[in-house]
Structure 1
């Protein structure tokens, strides 16, 4: 059996890094008959979440990083980081590769399918409704991330023909099944079906630690983001309301308290992902150097969230809250003199495979869904519905929770500030970048979108979500080399319709017969 056939079984949940061809063929390919109790199904779903994370890819591809070069001793974490930064088709196959993301996200999907088939075989009892709901939602989520990483953004104009990704709705039992990519539209339709079927079934009572599963609020947060991407704004508001409750301020992160913590990266990052916080809705653990690259460490700092970028566009930029003196609560200026600014979010963990030799794997915990981002999803929906009163209220609440400013954000202030703010250029950057969405916006909607994107960029820094906003709003971004004196040299740019916005699918999957993304 050749390698091509092994890779073609990506949806059959093969752990390719640890199972050889002979090992796999010596086992029963379909072991669902072993899932003969509710407890076994519940336990299986613990593994229905990918253990390799995508954000290092998408954060590095976004405009949240600059190239500082190697002259000052800075380095990358291998070929993959450079490939991500320059939007090159990935060739790296290591732990942080897009190949590993593809495999482990399909592994999670296959696990969900296995659970769903076991539930059906047991007669779909009501006592397993919660497990069925979790399996449907996690299957939908992992497909949602795959289609957004490896395909073009959702478009009412082109998604009916744009290449999608295989949507796996059953476990495979054959050695070399044939898969088709379908279209982006078809993938989104199947995601929506799973969401609408799964949401009413979610039961928080089946979890020991709900924040590490798709609990009710996490599932609603996912639904809000999904409907935001397909521009069903009434659904966004409906599901966001379920998350935020009638008193959203009580659900948001208490950054004033965080500001009073000891200003050390490790303790703040560990505090950020605490399950006790209402703001944290879903936490996922995984193998990733994300916390090292975008943390207070020397790892991978050639491509960094530079101090220049932070002070002009993101976490240290001026805004409607005022100047830098009215800065964010959550802003320990770590290693500013070394050229980068890191916001503590994900703790840097290490899994030893040989403690004496000091070798093992980097891991972290990623807050996949948070209430503060849900608030901004709802604000965007209000903007698109021309409900500027409610949009202003949500944006003002975010600003009051995140900044030390005494300024009250008003509709008039949003329009004045962002209409007068100059547009970004690579040499003279600002937070306001030209947008080219496929839908029409009024002048006031545009001002509100500039504000929203400014807030979202700060809110989601280091989490990889900025890349999807770049795609959704048609933002042209640049590659800049900053020397030690912050002199800028342009390296490349990514146009609105550049095919590189869809990450190339893994080479081995292409070799197995799946159509590659156009280049």
Structure 2
């Protein structure tokens, strides 16, 4: 089959036919070829950026969420909350059940755009802007995939050069059939390469995209996150500094005024520290009675100190109010925010301090305190200090948890890269009984299962070890 036919079939599978006709030139009944940078831009918007739910149920797996009480609803979230294998629940009730099937088509779209940018007409600025976005989006999707399905890069008991990650697909081909998993290290190398190319193209194009579009600043923030996860401390510092040199505005919670979840949500394009907004709010907003019977854990709530305004502006009735309570078409599910750049850099500085760079300790504290000054009431604020390298790293971890809970799987990823500790979840049954479900230290469930339907279609994919069916105690 010729490549143009592959492109045609994939586009028709992803996009409405009317949308295809609007920006693609028909060459024959089977071949549809993009001819202009504008056509590629519309393809990017329609098929490489997502508006569907993706990270389904992921927040129910970490230690920031607990079951509050019995509710006579279907137990859709039960499987994720108790870390059950696919054999014990319906496949669509797995955490991340939709992730593989949604991210790979978006990656294929990015691949097609990258293949066609040398062939289309348009200004250099237009072409480089679209090409840069495609590289950055592909980097982001592979970063999420490898952190869902592969072991942490810095896992002390394994080797990223040997650990299985996800298949790297770098062409516009539709088929994953016969493609084995690349190693974690190979996937990370591709992510870094895509980030370097995407950032350079976006900066050179000089186009100021709106916040719905990924930008070179978002690329630098992702680079700081990637290098932090890899243990490249100085590179994480440098990338975060590149973010802060370009955008450093923080939410000013002391001047926030009255809390209104719908008009002033934290995760929103109107937040002054937002760098990029993406995804669907449906995957994070509690909509059903079952979902509303989960709340933030006492452990998380206890981390908020006196005077920390996040305790009321981010939280109400032990539930997150970072997102609007009502769904509107212009809302997003996730954002890259300036606060993460400070947190990434603080942790990287703290790690450099632990390696012997003593001056980095104060730099880490400076970043933490810069954030905290915008999070506490003036009368209550006090600068953080540190009693040693391990204490400083714990302060960084606690601040990440306070700031980033219920966002973009941050807490789940932080647990994975900090040793995959044991977690206990309490579940309330209808007879008043409470059962305890345990995720053991380094449990197989710290890696998501590749869907069985995907494994059936590709015998070269080695599955992750399946966790055992869990019974409450």
Q: Indicate whether the TM-score tops 0.5.
A: yes
Q: CA RMSD in A?
A: 3.5
For residue 210 of structure 1, give the secondary structure of its aligned residue in structure 2: coil
* Secondary structure at the counterpart of residue 218 of structure 1: helix
Q: Is the 8 A contact 1:476 1:495 kept in 2?
A: yes
Residue 286 of structure 1 pairs with residue 280 of structure 2: yes
Residues 203-218 of structure 1 aligned to structure 2 (within 5 Å): 203=203, 209-218=209-218
Correspondences of 1:354-365 after superposition (within 5 Å): 365=332
2-structure distance, mates of 1:105, 1:196: 21
Aligned counterpart in structure 2 of residue 456 of structure 1, from 370, 390, 400: 400
8 A contact 1:74–1:300 mirrored in 2: no
Q: Pairwise mapping of residues 431-510 of structure 1 onto structure 2 (< 5 A)?
A: 444-463=388-407, 464-481=409-426, 491-510=436-455
SS in structure 2 at match of 1:402: coil
User: Paired residue for 1:331, among 303, 308, 312?
Assistant: 312
1:89 to 60, 85, 97: 85
| Contact 2:152/2:417 (<8 A) preserved | yes
Cα distance change on mapping 1:241 and 1:333 into 2, 3 Å: closer
Segments of structure 1 that go 5 or more residues without pairing to the other structure are 1-8, 20-26, 319-323, 352-362, 416-443
The 5-angstrom pairing of residues 242-281 of structure 1 reads 242-245=242-245, 248=248, 251-258=249-256, 260-261=257-258, 263-269=259-265, 272-275=267-270, 277-281=271-275
CA-CA distance at 1:469 after TM superposition: 0.3
Cα 1:137–1:124 shift into 2, 3 Å: farther
Question: 1:284-335 deviations in whole A, cap 9, x for unaligned?
Answer: 1326241125xxx7451333224x344324xxx33xxxxx3x2325614866
Report if the CA contact (8 A) 2:36-2:122 is conserved: no
Residue in structure 2 matched with residue 158 of structure 1 by the alignment: 159
Name the CA distance, whole Å, in 1 between partners of 2:427 and 2:61.
Answer: 17
* TM, length-normalised to structure 2: 0.81
Alpha-carbon shift at residue 118 of structure 1 (Å): 0.9
Q: How far 1:102 moved relative to its partner?
A: 1.3
- Paired residue secondary structure (1:268): coil
- CA deviation map 1:213-272 (0-9, x unaligned): 111211111111111111111111111111112884xx11222232x03x3322232x64
Given the alignment of the two structures, is residue 52 of structure 1 paired with residue 52 of structure 2, yes or no? yes
The reply to whether residue 349 of structure 1 matches residue 327 of structure 2 is: yes
Change (3 A) 1:257 1:230: same
Tell me the secondary structure at the aligned position of residue 262 of structure 2. helix
For residues 200 and 349 of structure 2, the distance between their equivalents in structure 1, rounded to whole angstroms, comes to 25
Instruction: Identify the match of residue 112 of structure 1 among 110, 113, 116.
Output: 110
Q: TM-score, normalised by structure 1?
A: 0.74
Aligned residue among 296, 317, 327 for 1:305: 296
Alpha-carbon offset, residue 366 of structure 1: 2.3
- Partner Cα separation in structure 1 for residue 314 and residue 104 of structure 2: 38
Check if 1:230 corresponds to 2:224: no
Gaps of 5+ in 2: 1-6, 18-25, 354-359, 467-473
Name the structure 1 match of 2:470: none
Residues 247, 104 of structure 1: CA spacing in aligned structure 2 closer, same or farther, 3 A cutoff? closer
What is the aligned residue count? 433
Contact 1:59–1:465 (CA<8 Å) still a contact in 2? no
Verify the 8 A CA contact 1:30 1:173 in the aligned structure 2: no
Structure-2 separation of matches of 1:96 and 1:460: 23
**Secondary structure at the counterpart of residue 350 of structure 2:** helix
Contact 2:107 2:141 in 1 (8 A): yes
Residue 492 of structure 1 aligns to a residue whose secondary structure is: strand
Deviation at 1:206, TM superposition (A): 7.7
Q: Distance in 2 between matches of 1:474 and 1:121?
A: 47
The answer as to whether partners of 2:162 and 2:183 remain within 8 angstroms in 1 is yes
Task: Give the CA deviation at 1:180.
Answer: 0.8
Q: Per-residue deviation at 1:159?
A: 1.4
Matched position secondary structure for 1:170: coil
| CA–CA separation in structure 1 for the residues paired with 2:110 and 2:31 | 12
SS at match of 2:277: strand
Alignment CA distance shift 1:187-1:212 (3 Å): same
State the partner residue of 1:375. Answer: 342
1:398 counterpart (351, 357, 371): 371
Contact 1:379 1:394 (8 Å CA) reproduced: yes
Quickly say closer, same or farther: Cα 1:158–1:218, change in 2 above 3 A.
same
Please list the CA deviations of residues 460-487 of structure 1 after superposition, one character each: whole Å capped at 9, or x if unmatched.
Answer: 1211210000001114232232769xx9
Which one is further off, 156-165 or 109-118?
156-165
Distance 1:64 1:245, change over 3 A: same
Q: 1:517 aligns with which of 439, 464, 467?
A: 464
Measured in 2, the distance between the counterparts of 1:462 and 1:268 equals: 17
CA distance in 2, matches of 1:123, 1:139: 23
Deviations 1:387-411 (A, max 9, x none): 1010010111122111225443243
Q: Distance in 1 between matches of 2:100 and 2:411?
A: 20
SS at match of 2:279: strand
